[in-house]
Amino acid sequence: MIRPSLRLLSAAALVSFVFPLYQASAQTQVPPAPANTPATPSAPAAEPSAPAPAAPTFPKPDPADFTAASPTKEVVSTFLQAIWGYDDNRIWQVQGILKTPVDGLSKVVILVADKSGKDKPAAFAFFVAPGGKFLISGEDVSPFGEHPFADNRAILQERADGPYRGTADKKLELVEFADFQCPHCKEAQANMEKLATDFPNARVVFQNYPLPQHPAAANAAAYGVCVARQGGSTAFYTFAAAVFDGQDGLATPDGATLTLNSAVTKAGLDPAKIEPCAKDPATLKSVDASAQLAKDLRINQTPTLEVNGRSVPANAPYDLLKKIIQYQEKLDGITQ
């Protein structure tokens, strides 16, 4: 059976489905030179280096730990490759797939480590829901299966209708869910600019997701909808950049009005025409629909970037974002 000595990661470890296993750097301990080792005046004796950590080895799985008929070990392995395959340093092994008292609910245990061998392998358990389309870890529910992002990709291709730049083709669709009053969304804009340049074959979409804790966000989103409607995507992105640049002004009602009207002017449009449009029920319905799309995709934070249905924080380190997108292109058979 699965050894109780294996350390199970907490539910928070689900975030590692997106990010590499970041390891805390440790200072290398170098043993002192033996006391009887003489040092010459011209060349002091060098201290020996600590041996490099050996690559980790996983214990052999016990066949008794594979009691569930579904999912199969092959499906779990394909899922993990889809989720983690972009990280060349990460290694894993399926250690068990067990029945539970709930009909159709299986418990999956995997071992995961990094090739450097700095840390011992750790065990991570999650549950696969009946039907095999979702996994459960703590309070988190995520897509599961051999093609875990396919359903969300189809939803986005049908419903992501925000302003976009790049190609009209949806083979590679990068959908940003953002809140104009969210500081992290402001930080993410540098990434989004780089992605639009580095992936000219992508359709880069902006979807409003105003959060309730930001009082000016919904109105800013409504302004953005009207700017896109009256001036097109080019005007919208000029407006959006100006709002993010002046984000501090959204903190007060008067400041928000000045900030939004100034952004509209910079986009080459008339604030007197945008303001009534932003109050129109049809505009508010559009903002609500975009927020509902985020909720239907189980997005609970901003900024989130959907890469062909794969959720990644849009303010992640740029090199990591680029690597994940390139890997997703490979998974989806997309060529530049």
Burial (Cβ within 10 Å: 0-12, 13-18, ≥19) of residue 272: exposed
266 φ/ψ sector (left φ>0, alpha ψ -120 to 50, else beta): alpha
Q: Can you give the pLDDT at residue 50?
A: 58
Q: Where are the domains of the chain?
A: 1-18+53-148, 150-331
Question: Which pLDDT score, from 0 to 100, does residue 99 have?
Answer: 97
Q: What is the pLDDT of residues 165-186, one digit of tens each?
A: 999 999 999 999 999 999 999 9
The answer to whether the CB of 171 falls within 8 A of the CB of 329 is: no
Query: In the chain, where does DSSP find H-type helix?
Result: 73-84, 150-159, 183-198, 217-245, 253-266, 271-279, 281-296, 318-331
3-state secondary structure of 321: helix
Of the candidates 310, 316, 304, the one whose C-alpha atom is nearest the C-alpha of residue 85 is: 310
Q: What is the pLDDT of residue 57?
A: 87
In whole angstroms, what is the distance from residue 234 CA to residue 267 CA?
8
> Which pLDDT tens digit goes with each residue over 99-127?
999 999 999 999 999 998 877 889 999 99
Across residues 5-29, what is the average pLDDT? Answer: 34
**Is the pLDDT reported for residue 296 higher than 90?**
yes
Domain made up of 150-331: CATH architecture = 3-Layer(aba) Sandwich (3.40)
**188-220 pLDDT, tens per residue?**
999 999 999 999 999 999 999 999 999 999 999
